[in-house]
Amino acid sequence: MTRITGLILGASFASLMASTAIASDYPTQSITVIVPYGAGGGGDTVARIVSDKLSDELGVTINVVNRPGAGGEIGISEMAAADPDGYTLGVFGYPDNFVIESTREVDFNSDEDLVVLAQFDNMPMGIFAKPNAAYSNMEELQAYASDNPAALIIGESGALGLLNALAFADNLDVVLTDVRYGGGGDLLNALLGEHIDLASTSSMSHDPIVDAGGVPIAFAASERMDMFPDVPTLRELGVDQVMEVGRVMVAPAGVPDEVLARLTEALDAISTNEDMIETFANASLPYAYLGHEEVNEKVEASNVALGAVIEAHADKF
């Protein structure tokens, strides 16, 4: 071995050892958490609640920064491109990332560029009927839709609302006329004003809809929600459809194993913090923690189901 080669190998070894030492000491500086939405929304609220407790657990400052734009694409792209050293993380609502990258050209590939660390809350999509509808449950709705093909108008806002509506019509084998609205407020006004027959929207719309005389038909949830125990799931009613939004924390792919372990351990540790859980409840956020392995199993299965709906209705996106 020549002296030059020896020096190169020695330098490489020293660099590797230094990198390992840095990873094992993690964290030694402040952490940035990117949120791809504006301040004050649900995703931002979750990021700040979790970051506050995670900061205490890790013993470093965590700064939450908002990078809104393009439906989340700008912020998620920034997360994916960050150095995988554990000092830049992200929080967003899955499956925003999957829907974005499945329906347009983007700068990231979630499977290759991001590691999902944990899920914190879970909000299923729902199917709601207008006030004074001729149906108030799934059996009546399916019968009415079958007898009146294409007569029922279902409104939605956002990609997941559309996916939920499309999957619902497919699974019931009925024809629904879809109308897209620019935001959740416009959608609720249309439903409660009886301009549309049904709405495909988040379970968090339950209270304003019910208070105004609307009816929750079912939630596309894996299980009944503690917040709304009287609303059945589609699965209970024989419709195999789960469509949920879960706020997740991610790291750039390539983060060292020691850092990944420290982060997942810290998140598991704070997951039972009663103060944090109470803060979620006070913010009307349905707390539903999933650790690293569980959330990745969920994401993998959900990607398959969502991908099938997107492929079947490519002309809608």
Average pLDDT over residues 223-239: 95
pLDDT-wise least confident of 6-10, 45-49, 132-136, 179-183: 6-10
Residues 6+ apart with CB under 8 A from 11: none
Position 101, amino acid:
E
CATH architecture of 124-219: 3-Layer(aba) Sandwich (3.40)
Of the candidates 67, 65, 71, the one whose C-alpha atom is nearest the C-alpha of residue 96 is 71
Domains 30-122+244-316 and 124-219 share a fold: yes
What pLDDT score does 18 carry?
Answer: 47
| C-alpha to C-alpha distance for 133 and 200, rounded to whole angstroms | 15
Strand pairing report for 198-202 and 123-129: antiparallel
Which pLDDT tens digit goes with each residue over 203-219? 989 999 999 999 999 99
* Amino acid type, 53: K
* pLDDT for the residue 201: 95
Amino acid 23: pLDDT: 63
pLDDT for 244-292, tens place per residue? 999 999 999 999 999 999 999 999 999 999 999 999 999 989 999 999 9
Distance CA 236, CA 230 (A): 12
Name the CATH topology of 30-122+244-316: D-Maltodextrin-Binding Protein; domain 2 (3.40.190)
Instruction: Decide: 53 and 85 in contact? Cβ < 8 Å.
Output: no
The whole-model pTM stands at: 0.84
* Domain boundaries of the chain, sorted by first residue: 30-122+244-316, 124-219
Confidence at 179, pLDDT banded by 50, 70, 90:
very high
pLDDT tens-digit map of 80-101 = 999 999 999 999 999 999 999 9
Q: Give counts: helices (H), strands (E), the chain.
A: 12, 11
Burial grade of 13 (CB within 10 A; 0-12, 13-18, 19 or more): exposed
CA atoms of 136 and 140, how far apart (whole Å):
7
